[in-house]
Amino acid sequence: MIRAIVTDIEGTTSDISFVHNVLFPYARERLAGFVREHQHEESIQTTLADLRREIDEPEADIERLTEVLFNFMDQDRKSTALKALQGLIWRDGYVNGDFTGHLYADVLPAFKAWRQQGAALYVYSSGSVNAQKLLFGYSDEGDVTSLFSGYFDTHVGAKRDVQSYRNIAAQIGKPTGELLFLSDIRQELDAAQQAGWHTVQLIRGDADTESVHHQVNRFDEITLEQFSS
């Protein structure tokens, strides 16, 4: 039986175009100014030190780090430091009402049904935990964060690494056979499956004919009974 469901965000609960056409440009326009203005704050210094370590350039100055961050955004690189900064910048956009976190219409009813059936809900995204809480806290459907038991980001590891799913299972404290991972990306599901998890692939747009995972178009096509042994 499934005791916990861990969901991806981009392409799974939320439209990729919301992330790429709303969130990413909002952060991009403000990133240089944000780093310049906040560079002396302790938490930002820690993030910039993480970035220097990531690029193995211990002496990199603010101009160089900003250049690197722009390169990372161009590549959609899932850098933990970039993701931390994006999350901090997005806060203003949510709080000022510039945008709300997109949720597909089928997501919230399914979350509520699964909670009623006794499954705990978690999020795993490359976006920082802070960014995840903002998206669900200021979602199209209001603040839905009370549904979640926890959040995971790249501090547990990259989404295509098998070890990340072992780390998440250890933190949730349940055997992997009781865990279900939902994502649109085949390689993420492959990693979860190799760690012993159940998997379902969300196909919100183009078909993925190379996938071995059970595929659905909407959350209401997923029934937890289908995973009973």
Ligand X SMILES: CSCCC(=O)C(=O)COP(=O)(O)O
Residues that bind Mg ion (CB under 5 A): 8, 10-11, 184
Rule CB under 6 A: say whether 6 interacts with ligand X: no
> Which of 6, 27, 17 lies closest to 134, judged by CA?
27
Residues 179-198 that bind ligand X (CB under 6 A): none
**Which one of the spans 6-14, 33-41, 43-51, 105-113 is the region binding ligand X (CB under 6 A)?**
6-14
Q: Residue from 2, 4, 6, 10 that binds ligand X (CB under 6 A)?
A: 10
Q: If binding is defined by CB under 6 A, does position 81 make contact with ligand X?
A: no
C-alpha distances out from residue 76 to 63, 70, 140, 157, 160, Å: 20, 10, 25, 17, 15
| Cβ count near 104 (within 10 Å) | 17
Task: Report the residue number, 147 or 224, with the smaller CB distance to ligand X.
Answer: 147
Q: Applying CB under 6 A, which of residues 2, 4, 88, 131 lies at the interface with ligand X?
A: 131
Q: Which is nearer to ligand X, 117 or 147 (CB)?
A: 147
CA 38 → CA 33, 43, 47, 91, 148, distances in Å?
A: 8, 9, 11, 14, 31
CB of 23 to ligand X, least distance (A): 6
- Taking the complex as a whole, the smallest distance from the CB of residue 155 to Mg ion amounts, in Å, to 18
Residue number with CB closer to Mg ion (153 or 184): 184
Task: Tell me 8's DSSP state.
Answer: -
Q: Which of 35, 48, 127, 168 binds ligand X (CB under 6 A)?
A: 127
- CB of 14 vs Mg ion, minimal distance in Å: 9
The contact pattern for ligand X, residues 19-58, with x = CB under 6 A and - = no contact, is x---x-----------------------------------
The enclosing H or E element of 123 equals: strand 120-124
Sheet with 198-202: strands ordered across: 148-152, 120-124, 4-7, 179-183, 198-202, 214-216
DSSP one-letter string for 183-204? ES-HHHHHHHHHTT-EEEEE-S
